[in-house]
Amino acid sequence: FAAAGGTPQINNAIPGMGLPVIAGGLILIGAGIAQLGVTGDLLRVTIGLLTMLSGFEIFYAAMETAILVTGLLSAITLGLGALGAYLLVAGSVPLIEPEDETL
């Protein structure tokens, strides 16, 4: 819960964001970093990266209102999710084994 302690300092440095936005972003970034530090499983690493990126998107969306930037961040999120799904599926598919020739 260190995010709750750092929220007022960030609110003073960047006025206008609001305490709920800052706290939500910090909690998501912290949860994503904790998830990345705890596990090496591919699914959990992908979820940790998506969680951390979501926290960053909350911060960035509060500061920047351009639609193009929001679209690019969404494309990055979709790409990361698709890459994680591909790597999960590619790791579970068995390699093709040579056929046994029996007469």
Please give the domain boundaries of the chain with CATH numbers for all domains. 2-91 (1.10.287)
**Rounded mean pLDDT, 98-102:** 64
pLDDT at 19: 81
Model confidence over 12-25: pLDDT tens digits?
777 777 888 888 88
Q: What is the 3-state secondary structure (H, E, C) of 1-64?
A: CHHHHHHHHHHHHCCCCCHHHHHHHHHHHHHHHHHHHHCCCHHHHHHHHHHHHHHHHHHHHHHC
Model confidence over 44-84: pLDDT tens digits?
999 999 999 999 999 888 888 889 988 999 999 999 999 99
pTM exceeds 0.75: yes
